[in-house]
Amino acid sequence: MRTFELRVYTLRSKEALEFYKDQIYPRHLTGSLAGFGIQAHGLWTSPTDTQPRLYVLASYPSGQDPEVLARRYMESQAFLDDIKDFDVTNIVGVASTILKPTSSSPLS
């Protein structure tokens, strides 16, 4: 069973959020994440957020430590290539919640 994680990125501005979700994250989705066995199942924003946030549901291969795998990914050349034209200081916070699917979950 894959391990699921809800990641919430808080960005410095609405413009930074727009660039991150429209330019940077699609680069992750088209190849670099898959090379590490990481899957993104969806990206969301909330119309009621008072801060610019991107919500990402990700999953990791069974038996892999999500924190270790995510760190290895973020140290890779593929990741660095994805973010080459993005000022990472525009990400002012990342919250991570590991999720355990219920027996009736379609994503278990």
Comparison of pLDDT for 108 and 39, the residue scoring more: 39
Identify the band that residue 108 occupies on the pLDDT scale cut at 50, 70 and 90: low
Model pLDDT, residue 1: 81
Inside any domain, residue 59:
yes
What distances in angstroms separate CA 73 from CA 37, 54, 78, 79, one per listed residue?
10, 19, 8, 6
Model pLDDT, residue 31: 83
Model pLDDT, residue 75: 96
Asked if 60 contacts 69 with a C-beta cutoff of 8 angstroms, the reply is yes
Give the CATH number of the domain where residue 75 resides. 3.30.70.100
Inside any domain, residue 108:
no
Q: Give mean pLDDT, residues 79-103.
A: 94
At residue 84, the 3 state secondary structure works out as: coil
Give me the domain span that covers residue 18.
3-99
Model pLDDT, residue 45: 97
Inside any domain, residue 107:
no
Model pLDDT, residue 102: 85
Instruction: Identify the helix (H) or strand (E) that includes residue 17.
Output: helix 14-19
Inside any domain, residue 106:
no
Inside any domain, residue 104:
no
Domain count, the chain: 1
pLDDT in tens, 6-28: 999 999 999 999 999 999 999 99
pLDDT in tens, 23-78: 999 999 988 999 999 999 999 999 999 999 999 999 999 999 999 999 999 999 99
pTM attached to this predicted model? 0.91
Inside any domain, residue 74:
yes
Model pLDDT, residue 52: 98
